[in-house]
Structure 1
Amino acid sequence: MNFKVLSLIALLAGFAGSACAAEGELSIGTEGAYPPWSMADAAGNVTGFDADVGNLLCTKLQMKCHFVVQAFDGLIPALKAKRFDVIISGMSITADRKKEINFSVGYADLANMFVVPKTSDLAGIKDVDSLLKALDGKTVGVQTGTTHAHFIEKRVPKANLKTYDTLDNLQIDLASGRVDAAFADASALQDFLAKPDGKDFQFVDVKIPGKFDPSLGEGLGVGIAKENTDLKAKIDKALCALVADGSIGKASKKWFKSDISRPCD
């Protein structure tokens, strides 16, 4: 056997070894800056509800988790570019997103709410229609690329919409008075209200469920590339089992003090 043939065999063996090394690992894209859903420390370690869901899923699939931190509005482009296998980042299933990627079955639901200063004329409103009308002309802060941004654009077109790359930056502007209201899921905003900066703020007592408007999505799902149909089938089966046995509900109670898990249809 000549040297060229030996070199070719060695090269192919190297490729085979690389492929085998990738087997059994699930790379997960997540934001890492949206507490208590996803928090990444300086070393890249990810904690939060999204991390717990990812780890539960990997255990069920008998795979090893590897988290990749990515800005929320870059998650879908990065998935399509194959930077990771799936997205687990509190991402709602929407019609627009389904044009780009596939989603697993929904595994959790959100309660969407506004936070305003306690002195705001919005603070005492108790119904959705009155709240949306009162938001006309107000400056409303949302995170870029979220269902909350799409909802305000659609339902309150006369509001002054300000978008932020992270929830932290939105909350900084809320605390400093640069926005009149912040709109996000209640669990994420609860974290702000528990901080010293949030002491003069409150929820508007109006929960807006996803079913109120299609722009808010169809529950939370795992984002999966369209061509990865086998992986989607495995993830769907695993998620349904994790919801049914209470694992996802237990994780949500840990982070949100309530069960936001969504049973499979």
Structure 2
Amino acid sequence: MELKVLTLLACLAGSMGSALAAEGELSIGTEGAYPPWSMSDANGNVTGFDADVGALLCTKLAVTCHFVVQAFDGLIPALKAKRFDVIISGMSITADRKKEINFSVGYAELANMFVAAKGSDLAAITDVDTLLKSLDGKKVGVQAGTTHAHFLEKRAPNADLKTYDTLDQMQIDLASGRIDTAFADQSALQDFLDKPDGKNFQLIGVEIKSTFDPTLGEGIGVGIAQENTELKAKIDKALCELIADGSVGKASQKWFKTDISRPCK
């Protein structure tokens, strides 16, 4: 499924947010640089798991989808400024984010992991407490504005945290040895390992799920403006139906080779 990015003019941003859904269109903010969740190309096509989830959701709601590419740490401010209707961008549901925006039911969940050079002292660690302690003084890469960054600030305060705007920037520094390790969701790190630059690296054998620390959130959800309760109700219903009929699971198998859909409670 490929969707063209719609560029929204700044002068219209304040008035378009909630109107688009009402008029049969839904504008979706996404990062577009976090494979395999969301990728955008030079022609303005958006692909990935979240693009497929967005397309499924829009079909279920009988609306036309438009994706708007935005840096991850600017997604919530842009949603609040009504530059688009919702966020679908691998965004974890957290208590801090719920102070700013609302979320749909969680539709996916994937373990978080670290990656390090093969043969390094970090690569051999197999338990989370030892791993977090071993990050003291290490240069650790993480994407800015993510739950991964907040988790490390809390759980590894003595690590030398290096933040990046995009995953690609973090991978470049990892491959060049400017950082010792990086923390992200398992799929994003696997994307790095599958590239030539990742051949000398491996996942550290410690999976950190969201249940380990509330900082990591309550699964991945669709971000929605707090005042847009009607749209939230529609999206919740549609997502639960898409999860129940296997559509989200099928999309997840396509991109992750496993079912990461999160059943509605």
TM-score normalised by L of structure 1: 0.92
Helix, strand or coil at the partner of 2:202: strand
The equivalent residue for 2:131 is 131
Residue 89 of structure 1 is matched in structure 2 by 89
Aligned partners of 2:208, 2:201: CA distance in 1, in Å? 19
Change (3 A) 1:157 1:246: same
Structure 2 contact 25–65 (Cα < 8 Å) conserved: yes
- 2:203 matched to which residue of 1? 203
Are 2:249 and 2:261, in contact at CA under 8 Å, matched by a contact in 1?
yes
Alignment of 1:1-265 (within 5 A): 23-265=23-265
Q: Distance in 2 between matches of 1:20 and 1:262?
A: 28
Task: Report the CA distance between 1:20 and its aligned residue.
Answer: 8.6
* Distance of 1:225 and 1:114 partners within structure 2: 32
Superimposed CA distance per residue, residues 176-206 of structure 1 (whole angstroms, 9 cap, x where no aligned partner): 0000000000001101000100000000000
Report runs of 4+ in structure 1 exceeding 6 Å deviation: 19-22
How big is the alpha-carbon RMSD for the aligned residues of Structure 1 and Structure 2? 1.3
Aligned position for 1:3: none
With over 3 angstroms needed to count, the CA separation of the structure-2 counterparts of 1:185 and 1:20, relative to structure 1, is closer
Displacement, 1:119? 2.2
Task: Write the letter of the residue equivalent to 2:170.
Answer: L
Secondary structure of 1:208's partner?
coil
Aligned equivalents of 2:259, 2:22: Cα separation in 1: 34
- CA distance change for structure 1 residues 197 and 244 in 2, over 3 Å: closer, same or farther? same
Give the count of matched residue pairs.
248
Measured in 2, the distance between the counterparts of 1:258 and 1:68 equals 27
**Residues 131, 64 of structure 1: alpha-carbon distance in 2 compared, 3 angstrom cutoff:** same
Q: Secondary structure at the match of 2:141?
A: strand
The CA distance in 2 between the partners of 1:114 and 1:188, in whole Å, is 10
**CA distance in 2 between partners of 1:164 and 1:241 (Å):** 36
- Alpha-carbon separation, structure 1, partners of 2:20 and 2:189: 42
Larger Rg: 1
The normalised TM-score by structure 2 is 0.92
CA distance in 2, matches of 1:21, 1:35: 27
Gaps of 5+ in 2: 1-18
Residues 20 and 85 in structure 2, CA contact (< 8 A), matched pair in contact too:
no
Separation of aligned partners in 1, 2:134 and 2:153: 15
Q: Measure the CA separation in 2 of the matches of 1:65 and 1:189.
A: 29
Are 2:35 and 2:48, in contact at CA under 8 Å, matched by a contact in 1? yes
Contact 2:104 2:236 in 1 (8 A): yes
Contact 2:117 2:201 in 1 (8 A): yes
